[in-house]
Structure 1
Amino acid sequence: MEVECIPFKETGYFSQLICDYLDQKKDLSPFFNRYPLPENFEDQITEKAANYPKAHRKVLVNALKQQYQGVEISKATQKNMDTLSKETTFTVVTGHQLNLFTGPLYFLYKIVSTINLTKQLNEKHPKNHFVPVYWMATEDHDFEEINYFNLHGKKVLWNKKASGAVGRLSTEGLEDVFEIFSAELGNLGLTDNLKELFKKAYLEHPNLAEATRYLANALFGNEGLVIVDGDDKSLKELLIPYAKKDILEHTPYGKISETIESLQGVSSDYNIQVNPREINYFYLKEGFRERIILKKGKYHVINTHIDFTKEELLKELDEHPERFSPNVVARPLYQEVILPNLCYIGGGGELAYWLELKSYFDEVGVTFPMLMLRNSALLITEKQFEKVEKMGLKVSHLFMKQHSLINKKIRDISNIDIDFSPQKQLLEEQFQHMYELAEQTDKSFLGAVKAQEVKQKKGLDALEKRLLRAQKRKLKDHVVRLTDLQNELFPNQSLQERQLNFSEIYLEMGEDLIPLLLDALDPFSKGFTVLRRN
């Protein structure tokens, strides 16, 4: 196996905000606490240790014991859960939706990044202990985002009417999905392992949260991964004072709105990922999760007939905190309140909305975690790599948009020059003389000269495009082979990690897949990882 890294900004798949963050642009320093460099973790440990209540550890450990009842726990995970009661233990966290059978490949990359960071921290800081945590997004209600995965270019879909928190959804009906999955896999090679994994996860557990816990534990339990479900009354009790400030005082709405304005002041190219609401909580019961809004002096749960006075709402929050579900703005705070966490590892979109939150954390006195971009990877076989080389390309070229890649290749192999830049430059020089002439004679001709220059440049552009199209037809075989290869590695003109399910790679690599990722992916990597495999 060989590893190559391509700078993130050169791939074309990362936003300007994330590229600037990775470059540690000075103007972004107010929006994060410490950049995740190895030498910065010591100060983060000190700050979090001073700011994480001892009582929270006991609540966390007890909640985990309850959540893991009936789960076969590895020695590594049991050790990590036990050490969480010690004041010298800290976590590194990643979070993800409960995608069916893990969803796209990057689910694995997020967890591998998290595990590998804790390994490096354990080596560098032997007086402390570091635990990798996967936070299950059990309270999300966007079922359409998680009810499928792709296999061999086909969508394996869980077709079900669903509402409310996805973690509470019954797994009833997944027998039909299992049959479709099994038929697509066939009966050769490693298919039995995948069928058994799916069956045990989804057909032997009553709801999606328990099924996902089983699956993540089966894949990563030996690495000591600890899985947390935030849909838990005892954990929500720790959130009560922060929920009150949100609902009654609209604290995050004010602070985050100011931050968004400041971010856009740094660069108009920064896309804002999420916008805060005046109240950033849902009301959660079986079958529904609906926003709480202030309406005519009462707290109303939209799409229901439920209303609370201020006193009734506070009583409900104190007695039933499990019924209050944080949205995308409030959930990060919840996570950092209940965990002794140092660092959050996520994708570009996630980090973009975390960068909106620091002033809110400062306002409520919770330590803001370090933010690390998860590893990204392209898995390429030796045979595919040989094809790239035979075409005279680099793997980095395959990240280009397909039309640009084809144009580049045609220009490279064509026996005629399809670049009209010299002609355009000559044209500009000729028109420069005409501009000077018009200035000396009659300036009213300047507009006419400019119009003629534009017209002739457009003519050259049109000729260049026609010639390129003609060469594409002539060199059709090259175009077909190139597009076929790019489509293999970038299905649907997207990153492999966002399209393929791990099962497709597992069919070729089996149990070597996760060890390969653990060995190859460095959380401190500054680029997109290309992994060549046999």
Structure 2
Amino acid sequence: MEPGCQKLPLEKIGAFSQLFLDYINQEEALKPFYNQYPSIGNFKNLIKDKSFNSQKRENLVSELHNQYANIENKPNIDILLEPNTYTVTTGHQLNIFTGPLYIIFKIITVINLAKKLKEAYPDSNFVPVYWMATEDHDLEEIQVCRAFGQKRKWATAQTGAVGRMTTEGLPELAAQLGKGAEFFKEAYQNSEKLGDAVRQYMHHLFGEYDLITLDADSRALKSQFASVMKDDIFNNTAFGLVNERTATIDALGYKTQISPREINFFYLEDSLRERLVKTDAGFDVFNTDIKFSKEEILAIIENEPEKLSPNVVLRPLYEEWILPNLAYIGGPSEVPYWLQLKPVFDFYKEAFPALMPRNFGLLLDERSAQSLEKLNFGLEDIFKTTDSLKAQYVKRESEKELSLQKELESLQTIYADVLKKADEIDITLSRTTKAFETKSVDMLERLEKKLLRAEKRNYSEALSKIEKLREHLCPAGGLQERKDNMLNFYGEGNDLIEKLIASFDPLDYQFNVIEI
């Protein structure tokens, strides 16, 4: 383990679903829902199972050269032409300034995985890929970031696919974030579209690690997906397959993430991304007056496939269709919903990739580490609620007896005797006796809380420090990685990226606490 990085089991963090945790722990009941578990030895089978012809490789490389045309020192794109080259992929929305820390963690996971795979399988090549969700249309998800204790919002009224939006207003917003954000400002200034800007700043951050950033909103790439488009729009195959698999997972007591639609494609034009729905007369674009006949839809698939955008059900299949991919790296919501999709891959005869959790982490600055030590808290305590930490501290430090547990036990003994006597006299009095017991226990528990509350006043200074520490490390009560932006830790000349790459192990599914 890298010095300065301590690891905790994910179960100790209290922030992950049971389905996600059971997948990581290889629960037997979940094994039918995926192909190969993401261990280094299982990639041998994944390599063997992945089929990706030379025409697909040529199309992919040609498209990537077009996308990287204006970027200097571009990654080695041509290596993807070689039949022994594979990708490992992660993806995310185009959050401003990269968004929360975990997006950076995702990318570092794929970079480190590619490196580990090359060491284990030297006869093959492995390329880390960042799949930009350029076709996503949820502006609210990407237009806010939390940096330096403040929310920064991109004020724009644009609609449609976010990757096609202009960067208007973003250079000015970046200028407010200091010298450390200069590369963001340049990327937004030098790019007309948001997707191009994201590629530019991701290359600035990760280009030296051979990361390839892909925009799949492309006629050339989507034309390869035409057969799936036709089948889904006219036969609704995925709808039945995913519903059946979802019911199976639900029956095991898990909560599933996604629901398929009969048609799992949006209609996409500039400023518009709306669902395609079937009608008696043909097809409508939801919430618009746009209508198509069957023949017109077939013509779009044939000549303008870029006007059709897969939703969350078919985007994973599209990813694997156009990439020589072996693993998808996702978060605690993504990995579970991929488990609903394997029947779709099986139907279309596309290899199902390894589903890998991204790295999880908290960046612990020196001042916070010292505060934890002074307050005598361990790393696991960071993830408890503020109230429970305060109570823990006061109970530990106070010389007074604050617990009424002995009294509660005595009360229960007394009422057991009373109940016995009441039953001997009139069995109908048992309900009344139990009601009195419940009321007495409640009153005693409330009194215990008041004792603790009163004692807390004697530790107000320490409790204030606990509150500030918790808010700093777990903003708004959530995980730091889901709230804070990288700029909080990335200054001019900062070695944050190098530190994270050295600290994270992509195949160690634990929570990392990294001292910075």
Name the TM tier (shorter chain).
over 0.9
Deviations 1:144-190 (A, max 9, x none): 211122221112221011111111111123343234x25xx3xxxxx
Give yes or no for the alignment of 1:452 onto 2:436.
Answer: yes
CA distance in 2, matches of 1:315, 1:251: 21
- C-alpha contact (below 8 Å) 2:171/2:184 kept by paired residues: no
Tell me the equivalent position of 1:10. 12
CA distance in 2, matches of 1:62, 1:152: 41
The offset of 1:434, in angstroms, is: 3.1
Tell me the equivalent position of 1:67. 67
Give yes or no for the alignment of 1:234 onto 2:220.
Answer: yes
User: How many percent of aligned residue pairs carry the same amino acid?
Assistant: 39
CA distance in 2, matches of 1:401, 1:264: 30
Select between 167-176 and 5-14 the one with higher mean Cα deviation: 167-176
- C-alpha contact (below 8 Å) 2:174/2:181 kept by paired residues: no
SS in 1 for 2:277: strand
Deviations 1:166-223 (A, max 9, x none): 11111123343234x25xx3xxxxx2x522x022100111110110000101100000
The offset of 1:391, in angstroms, is: 0.9
Tell me the equivalent position of 1:532. 515
2:245 to 259, 283, 295: 259
Structure 1 gaps, min length 5: 186-190
Give yes or no for the alignment of 1:373 onto 2:357.
Answer: yes
The offset of 1:418, in angstroms, is: 2.3
The offset of 1:55, in angstroms, is: 2.4
Give yes or no for the alignment of 1:122 onto 2:125.
Answer: no
CA distance in 1, matches of 2:144, 2:197: 15
Q: Could you say if the C-alpha distance between residues 479 and 164 of structure 1 is closer, same or farther in structure 2, counting changes exceeding 3 Å?
A: same
Give yes or no for the alignment of 1:170 onto 2:166.
Answer: yes
CA distance in 1, matches of 2:439, 2:295: 72
Tell me the equivalent position of 1:188. none
2:91 to 90, 95, 117: 95
Tell me the equivalent position of 2:23. 21
Tell me the equivalent position of 1:206. 192
- C-alpha contact (below 8 Å) 2:329/2:356 kept by paired residues: yes
CA distance in 2, matches of 1:489, 1:56: 45
Tell me the equivalent position of 1:43. 45
- C-alpha contact (below 8 Å) 2:172/2:185 kept by paired residues: no
SS in 2 for 1:84: helix
Q: Which amino acid aligns with 1:232?
A: S
2:482 to 482, 492, 498: 498
1:215 to 158, 179, 201: 201
CA distance in 2, matches of 1:450, 1:282: 60
Tell me the equivalent position of 2:341. 357
Select between 163-172 and 217-226 the one with higher mean Cα deviation: 163-172
Structure 2 gaps, min length 5: none
Tell me the equivalent position of 1:427. 411
- Structure 1 runs (4+) greater than 6 angstroms displaced: none
- C-alpha contact (below 8 Å) 2:99/2:485 kept by paired residues: yes
Tell me the equivalent position of 2:282. 298
- Aligned-residue Cα RMSD (Å) equals 1.5
The offset of 1:435, in angstroms, is: 3.3
CA distance in 2, matches of 1:135, 1:478: 46
Select between 154-163 and 332-341 the one with higher mean Cα deviation: 154-163
**TM-score, L = length of structure 1:** 0.93
Tell me the equivalent position of 2:181. 194
Q: Could you say if the C-alpha distance between residues 130 and 175 of structure 1 is closer, same or farther in structure 2, counting changes exceeding 3 Å?
A: closer
CA distance in 2, matches of 1:204, 1:258: 47
**TM-score, L = length of structure 2:** 0.97
Q: Which amino acid aligns with 2:87?
A: T
CA distance in 1, matches of 2:162, 2:69: 20
Q: Could you say if the C-alpha distance between residues 315 and 416 of structure 1 is closer, same or farther in structure 2, counting changes exceeding 3 Å?
A: same
Tell me the equivalent position of 1:465. 449
Select between 420-429 and 490-499 the one with higher mean Cα deviation: 420-429
Tell me the equivalent position of 1:148. 144
- C-alpha contact (below 8 Å) 2:386/2:466 kept by paired residues: no
Give yes or no for the alignment of 1:511 onto 2:513.
Answer: no
The offset of 1:440, in angstroms, is: 4.0
CA distance in 2, matches of 1:349, 1:85: 33
Q: Could you say if the C-alpha distance between residues 89 and 175 of structure 1 is closer, same or farther in structure 2, counting changes exceeding 3 Å?
A: closer
Q: Which amino acid aligns with 1:422?
A: K
Q: Which amino acid aligns with 2:4?
A: E
